[in-house]
Structure 1
Amino acid sequence: MSLNLLAKREHPQLPAETKLRLMMELARKISSCLDLDDVLALIIDMVRSFIDYDAAGIYIIERKGKHKRVVAQTSRGYDQDRSSDCMCMKVGDGIVGWVIKTSSGAIVPDVSVDSRYISGRTGTKSEMVAPIRANGKVIGAFNLESDRLRAYSKYDLEMLMFFANEAAISIEKARLYEALMEKQRLEAELAVARRVQQTLLPTSDPLFGHFEISGLNIPTSEVGGDYFDYISVSENRLGVVIADVSGKGVPAALIMATFRASLRGQVCSECPLSSTFYQMNELLRQNNSLDQFVTACYLDLDKTSYKFSYLNAGHNRPIILHSDDSYETLSEASLILGLFPRQPYEHFIHYTKPGDVILLYTDGITEATPPHLLEEEFGIERLVEASQKHKHLPSSEIAKAIFKAVRDFSGNANQSDDCTVIVIKVA
């Protein structure tokens, strides 16, 4: 027979002055403490002055994805070799899990006849558990165990409820503090990432023969891994690169810095792009502990002609706008950089004509979404339309017009990715 009935012996309710004294004493002790483990340790030790126990635990619900489990945040008196099952359990398991599931306090005079009991120590004879509630929801439980049968009463449960309420306040306070600290840590990390990203981007656009070039980057609040650069290969050749590192924050910024330094070190007038990117892939892969990758598109412009070489490593396809309002995409591409060993990379030649406009961009442009309509994206057609409409303007103005079109489309919706575009006009 399951015994979760309250013990029969009656006690007077906790006097108001006793509650006030307890509250003031607890407040005094925990007012300057923001560490959750320290606060709960103070509470669990203070309970012993009012309710005798041989083992105790304060349990909190933890979420991992869609799953919830009950974990002992602070405990006293459990056997090391027997306590794993009672320190971490599913909601509903054990007397603690039952209390959390039902939001009801429980007194078990004899655990040996209660099928819910999970043993965490050999000496336990009776148990008492109070739910911990915050904002109308059960967030945990306060558990006491005794080596005596029928050790706990209604009076004891009322007292434990009081301490459970104090634990709830402390848990919420500590969680708010931890959330604030995490927010400040992330903001500091993002500030570092922004500084790294901005120092790696060009401060001005180059003047290069009949190619009029302009690049523009607008980072999101999360700071992604967008990058673009201009690399002087020789007097008549200029490298134009756009790239996107997977991930966000400092890790993405560091991979970006590695990519930039490696590319600038590898590019030379005698080295074919296919060989350069093969070496880049191997270098990034060997120094990639987080399984991050890079997509990149590199154009080798020659100001003595209207042709250029290009290599696309898994990046968005370049777009060529023509003077007759038609356009084409350069579909030839190789694999992304940094994940797969010994991958071949192939470069191609393309011929332009005066009046052409070359667009390089990251997916933050084409994947921008409007508010409340996340399945619709800005897309290639809108990018082409915005560019065609302003192709008579300088390349810098075309880039600005593209960003304005993206902003008008997405409204006030928060975008999850950086936006970067390079516009190259052929005169």
Structure 2
Amino acid sequence: MTLKLESESTTRVRIEAGGADALDNTILKASAELLRAQHQETDPRLPAEQLSKLIESLRVVNELTIELLRDISVDELMKFLMDKVFETLMPDRGVVLLRSRLTNELIPAVVRVAEGMSADDIRLSKTLVAQVVEKRNGLILAAPLENEGEVVGLIYVDSQVGHRSFEEADLRLLTSLANVAAAKIQNARLMAEAAEKKQMDREFALAREIQQRLLPESPPTIPGYELQGSNTASRQVSGDYFDFRARSDGKVYAAIADVCGKGVGPALLMASLQASFHAWADESVPVAEMTGRLSEAISRRTGPDRFITFFLVLLDPATGDVEYTNAGHNPGILLKCDGSLQELSSHGLPLALFPGKPYGSSRFTLGAGDLLCLYTDGVTEANSPDGTEFGFPRLKEFLGGQVGRMPLEIEDSLLKELEEHAQGEPFADDRTLVMIRRTPAA
């Protein structure tokens, strides 16, 4: 690894492969263990030189501590740390390595060599640790950047033979400086993580607001019918979609969809589906043809691992006739006024899986008092704490007891029943509902 120094010379920090675990926790703990093994001199009659050195050490630690109170970056603090180390310990070379939060590897943050020194490799290995811990040759110091038991990096300094040798007091000073710096690094990282999370939350909130505007604010008013739709996201943004769209010929589309996956990606694909659907909704084409068009359009905008289950309904309010295409979606449920149930099964694969493949369609008549219910799998797959799903049979059983009720009332009751089933267990998927009921004749 080659780094550019302030002196415009270059040096490398090399971590040698001294075995399968050449750089393990030993190098990070060695100096701390050595420090704990030593007993600080307690005799008040210290020689003047030792006393002077102790006062100087306290001054340096105090200066670094004051730096913590300033709003400076970790990079600036590391340079200041190295300034103080070279000012007081006068090593020939030094390096600060910080542990990456992503890879957990040690990465050089600051590298420095004394004026006039050659830019040889700085090598960290178990051999080095043995020299520090066992031989105590006085030419090398290394201390972990440790705070509250967490090691966030390492500071290393050395001196060439004949220049100077280090003492235990130097190690105590280096370790103290390392601990102070580690506190700042941890605090800076926590603040950065909090700021990043706050920014992400703001972006998700904005994405959710935009997405909600793509969904109908309220269903259209159609004499003789009651329409209801809702979307409850399990995360900040949803991969589910529902819509109502009146055509110029008086017929009305109702649609529901579930994009594969969760998060921002599916939400963007949902927006693409909405845009395509609205672009073609005014054309008087059969639902099977519309579904095929949407499948081809979505396939051009996504990869092979993305698809959308889709259920499209076209209602003729004048007659109650309904034409529908189910593209790999959950079976729709038709609740008749006599309490009987009819499942509306699939006509083909989800959108974008096999673009160009034609879809089929089916028809039925929505009689007075009949209710059509469409939903996404977040409803049927809602889990209880023991992992039991709400399930399709239970949904049918629930709907069987809703004859004569308004869609909004049914929706409220169903969402409440899902909450009772979950018993506080987080919902793993979005819950979206679309219902159309033909009101009974007066």
TM-score (norm 1): 0.77
Select the residue among 149, 155, 158 that pairs with 1:142: 155
- Bigger shift: 246-255 or 222-231? 246-255
Select the residue among 241, 244, 252 that pairs with 1:230: 244
- Bigger shift: 400-409 or 247-256? 247-256
Tell me the equivalent position of 1:91.
none
Q: C-alpha separation between the residues in 1 aligned to 2:326 and 2:128?
A: 55
8 Å CA contact 1:196–1:253 kept in 2: the answer is no
Q: Does 1:356 align with 2:395?
A: no
Q: C-alpha separation between the residues in 1 aligned to 2:129 and 2:302?
A: 46
Tell me the equivalent position of 1:75.
110
5+ unaligned residues in a row in structure 1: which ranges?
87-93, 100-104, 111-124
Offset at residue 239 of structure 1 (A): 0.7
Offset at residue 130 of structure 1 (A): 1.9
CA-to-partner distance for each residue in 1:233-278, whole Å, 9 max, x for gaps?
2333111011233455554443332221111102344323333333
Select the residue among 390, 402, 415 that pairs with 2:414: 402
Residues 425 and 157 of structure 1, relative CA distance in 2, 3 Å threshold: same
Select the residue among 323, 327, 337 that pairs with 1:309: 323
CA-to-partner distance for each residue in 1:183-236, whole Å, 9 max, x for gaps?
211121122112112211212222335542111222345222222110112333
Select the residue among 161, 166, 173 that pairs with 2:187: 173
Select the residue among 135, 146, 156 that pairs with 1:133: 146
SS at match of 1:48: helix
Select the residue among 254, 265, 277 that pairs with 2:268: 254
Q: C-alpha separation between the residues in 1 aligned to 2:158 and 2:64?
A: 22
Instruction: Read off the aligned partner of 1:54 and give its amino acid letter.
Output: R
The 5-angstrom pairing of residues 244-323 of structure 1 reads 244-248=258-262, 250-288=264-302, 292-323=306-337
SS at match of 1:222: coil
The 5-angstrom pairing of residues 43-192 of structure 1 reads 43-51=81-89, 52-60=91-99, 62-63=101-102, 69-72=104-107, 74-77=109-112, 94-95=125-126, 106=133, 127-148=140-161, 151-192=165-206
Tell me the equivalent position of 1:122.
none
Q: C-alpha separation between the residues in 2 aligned to 1:135 and 1:284?
A: 52
Tell me the equivalent position of 2:436.
424
8 Å CA contact 2:94–2:155 kept in 1: the answer is no
Select the residue among 31, 36, 58 that pairs with 2:74: 36
Tell me the equivalent position of 1:115.
none
Residues 266 and 162 of structure 1, relative CA distance in 2, 3 Å threshold: same
Q: C-alpha separation between the residues in 1 aligned to 2:127 and 2:411?
A: 61
Residues 63 and 233 of structure 1, relative CA distance in 2, 3 Å threshold: same
Residues 140 and 369 of structure 1, relative CA distance in 2, 3 Å threshold: farther
8 Å CA contact 2:257–2:376 kept in 1: the answer is yes
Q: C-alpha separation between the residues in 2 aligned to 1:205 and 1:408?
A: 27
CA-to-partner distance for each residue in 1:329-364, whole Å, 9 max, x for gaps?
3221433335x4634241311314534322211222
Residues 58 and 198 of structure 1, relative CA distance in 2, 3 Å threshold: same
- Bigger shift: 295-304 or 30-39? 30-39
8 Å CA contact 2:340–2:400 kept in 1: the answer is no
Instruction: Read off the aligned partner of 1:32 and give its amino acid letter.
Output: R
8 Å CA contact 2:258–2:310 kept in 1: the answer is yes
Tell me the equivalent position of 2:61.
23
Q: C-alpha separation between the residues in 1 aligned to 2:295 and 2:77?
A: 50
8 Å CA contact 1:40–1:170 kept in 2: the answer is no
Residues 361 and 164 of structure 1, relative CA distance in 2, 3 Å threshold: same
Tell me the equivalent position of 2:379.
365
Instruction: Read off the aligned partner of 1:365 and give its amino acid letter.
Output: V
Residues 44 and 281 of structure 1, relative CA distance in 2, 3 Å threshold: farther
8 Å CA contact 2:328–2:346 kept in 1: the answer is no
Residues 290 and 40 of structure 1, relative CA distance in 2, 3 Å threshold: farther
Over the residues paired in the alignment, what is the CA RMSD in angstroms? 3.9
Tell me the equivalent position of 2:402.
390
Question: Larger Rg: 1 or 2?
Answer: 2
Residues 331 and 167 of structure 1, relative CA distance in 2, 3 Å threshold: farther
Instruction: Read off the aligned partner of 1:322 and give its amino acid letter.
Output: K
Tell me the equivalent position of 1:116.
none
CA-to-partner distance for each residue in 1:70-100, whole Å, 9 max, x for gaps?
23151315999979x97xxxxxxx449989x
Offset at residue 153 of structure 1 (A): 4.0
Instruction: Read off the aligned partner of 2:61 and give its amino acid letter.
Output: M
Offset at residue 20 of structure 1 (A): 4.2
5+ unaligned residues in a row in structure 2: which ranges?
1-17, 42-49
Instruction: Read off the aligned partner of 1:358 and give its amino acid letter.
Output: L
Instruction: Read off the aligned partner of 1:406 and give its amino acid letter.
Output: L
Q: C-alpha separation between the residues in 2 aligned to 1:45 and 1:279?
A: 67
SS at match of 2:87: coil
Tell me the equivalent position of 2:389.
377
TM-score (norm 2): 0.75
- Bigger shift: 158-167 or 43-52? 43-52
